[in-house]
Amino acid sequence: MAARLVNLLGNVAVFVPVGMLVPLATGRLLSPVRLAVLFIPCIAALEILQMVLRIGSFDVDDILLNLLGVWTGFGLLRLSGITRIRRL
């Protein structure tokens, strides 16, 4: 039970920074649908790579949980009101 919870939370948490940093780096706040179109192929490629390299397994649930992490990060970014990264 605890291992499943760690897996679930880990798959979401690992992509939260991606959902925050990519819109900031591009300078545009994309819609959640555009984020999905952008990241589903990337996440699927990572899952396939895990399977090919035999360091994990291909799991559709992981793709959905990773996408949830991207959307969570994006939502936190929108709630924060930050729209750009200030250059030093």
Is 25 within a domain?
Answer: yes
Q: How confident is the model at residue 87 (pLDDT cuts 50, 70, 90)?
A: low
Whether the CB-CB separation of 39 and 18 falls below 8 Å is answered with yes
Does residue 3 have a pLDDT over 90? no
Is 32 within a domain?
Answer: yes
Which residues fall within 8 angstroms of residue 58, CB to CB, at 6 or more apart?
47, 48, 50, 51
The 10s digit of each residue's pLDDT in 29-63 is 778 898 899 999 999 999 999 989 988 777 889 99
Overall domain count for the chain: 1
Q: How confident is the model at residue 72 (pLDDT cuts 50, 70, 90)?
A: very high
Whole-number Å distance between alpha carbons of 88 and 73: 24
Which of 31, 35, 32, 27 lies closest to 84 in space, CA to CA? Answer: 27
Q: How confident is the model at residue 88 (pLDDT cuts 50, 70, 90)?
A: low
Is 29 within a domain?
Answer: yes
Whole-number Å distance between alpha carbons of 79 and 48: 33
Is 1 within a domain?
Answer: no
The conformation of residue 62, written as its DSSP 8-state character, comes to H
Range of the structural domain that residue 54 is part of:
15-80
Is 8 within a domain?
Answer: no
Is 5 within a domain?
Answer: no
Whether the CB-CB separation of 59 and 6 falls below 8 Å is answered with no
Its pTM stands at 0.85
Is 10 within a domain?
Answer: no
